[in-house]
Chains A and B, each alone.
Chain A
Amino acid sequence: MKRQIPMMIVLILGLLFVAHVFIPSKLSADYLDWFMKWTKVIGPFAIVLGVFSLVLVHYNKIKRKAPNWGYSIVTLAALVITTAVGFIWGIQEGTPYMWIFKNFNVPLGATMFSLLAFYIASAAYKAFRARSIEATVLLVAAIIVMLGRVSIGQAITHWIPDITEWILNVPNLAAKRGIALGVGLGMTATSLKIMLGIERSYLGGKD
């Protein structure tokens, strides 16, 4: 009841989907229609999970007065205020909701990731070492691509962008294809494992 029935649901729906792909018919089209209609009703409810998890984590931090609990108040207040603004004034362009997005969310998100530029510059100086021939090949390829993607490379010689294109279109392509084939087979195997009930971690819980 707790595990077996959900696993049976996955297996039956999964097999029907396999049939849908291989046997095009009105019945299989109707099945997809039905599934889509129902999934569209079910889907929106899942969003609450993420939001509620966040609320729970920060609520507990505040309740336990854990270290830095004051910042949890900032998170919860920001969540409540942003959500309330969305419901009160709507979510269209020109509303306070979009003003918050433009002036809070965009600078915070973009700047957080831009910090990585400093770390990669520091790593370039302190960590990227040509310790072996393989590492040297990696660094040389990286340097050519870095030069070839900007106009300085073109200004030095047109060979640099040309070699960059060749690196991307030949050895890089072969490397990425080799890895992608492995990933593709892995994805197919994982899907099969889920369908057959071998992989169950998505169900969560112990019992």
Chain B
Amino acid sequence: MKFSESMQKLDRRYIYIVLAIAVILPLVFPIGFKTYSTTPVEDLYRHIDAIAGRDDMAIIMDFTHDPGVMPELYPMDLAILRHCFERNIKVFTISFLPQGAAIIQLALSEVKEDYPDIEANIDYCNFGFKPWGLKLPIMLGMGDDIAKAVETNSEGLKLENLPIMQDIKNYDNIQVVVEISGSSMGQFWVTYARAKFGVDVAVGLTAVMAADVYPLLQTGQFIGSLGGLKGAAEYEQLVDIFAMNGQEFSKKKARNMKWVEQAYKNIPEKARLYKYNKARIGMDAQAIVHVLIILFIILGNIGYFLEQREQKKKYMK
């Protein structure tokens, strides 16, 4: 078999092994690549951070995603919740998928471990699962009265009686709805809640969909977005260097890598926990594998062109 032919017919299982090694090695021996931040992530961070310490404003996090996309989206869930708990920002969680509701519980319990003073129904409230078919009635209903539209939290308690709802009535008290999903659910929030009530919407998406949201970012229909593991890594970093250091957000500082490195030296111990760094640790492997995939594309094309040339030669003979 000729070289070009053997290149074309390489057993896919060799490719699998090379890929697995390329993922494993950087995870076991971290390289420590730095993450640079991008505008859509910075915009969302700044927008959420603007209501730090306010009782009359909150954010809504919609976890309409299932375990299939958790490696990409769960670090976002943790990073945003950590930002809220650290900066005393009220947060509501909801999901229109039952597995999403279970993910909310996992995420809340994981972040709460490090914030013992944060209390359910005072600092945050989990609305829990609401059936998919009720998403529009609930989205629209919250424009008038959140307590009336959602009615009960995940424990079955009436929202109207909860302390967190005292100063919060409707979307006027919602700084942003952050839709974290692997679907086009964010579009529903834009089409109905934003168009009718003007509430700001942002998304945390799987990377597959990240390129699709740019038209909505330009129009301002999404005020920010986190795209895949990279977006999660950026948000993790912003929380560490600003929120965990008790600093106000500054775009200039966020993009100054020397300042970022300095800021990391001062962060508290709990920010160094593995669970809060998963996306950034993963980005090391991501970088190596991207190079590998590019090599695969180039090698595959070299094999293809060599084969084409040989076939042409044969034909000429």
Contacts and interface: CB of A to CB of B under 8 A. Distances in A.
B297 A143 contact: yes
Contact of B214 (A146, A152, A172): A172
A176 B214 contact: yes
Interface residues of A, number: 60
Contacts of A154: 34, 36
B300 interface: yes
Given A46-B131, A98-B106, A106 B70 contact: yes
A152 B137 CA distance: 46
A23 interface: no
B185 interface: no
A48 to B, nearest CB: 11
A107 B137 CA distance: 33
B69 interface: yes
Interface in A157-207: 161, 165, 168-169, 172-173, 176-177, 180
B288 to A, nearest CB: 8
Nearest to B8: A126
A158 B36 CA distance: 11
Contact of A152 (B18, B33, B196, B215): B33
Given A39-B134, A98-B102, A106-B70, A152 B297 contact: no
Contact of B131 (A47, A124, A130, A152): A47
Interface stretch (A4-12, A54-62, A65-73, A108-116): A108-116
Contact of A118 (B16, B34, B141, B291): B16
Contacts of B299: 125
A89 interface: no
A75 interface: no
B38 A165 contact: yes
Contacts of B283: 150-151
Contacts of A177: 215
Interface residues of B, number: 59
Given A114-B71, A121-B293, A121-B296, A101 B102 contact: yes
B93 to A, nearest CB: 12
B133 A43 contact: yes
A36 interface: yes
A15 B289 CA distance: 53
Contacts of A125: 10, 15, 296-297, 299-300
Q: What 4 pairs between A and B have smallest CB-CB spacing?
A: A109-B67, A151-B33, A150-B287, A36-B137
Interface of B: 8, 10, 12, 15-16, 18-19, 33-36, 38-39, 66-71, 99, 102, 105-106, 108-109, 131, 133-134, 137-138, 140-141, 144, 149, 154-155, 196, 211-212, 214-215, 218, 230, 283, 286-294, 296-297, 299-301, 304
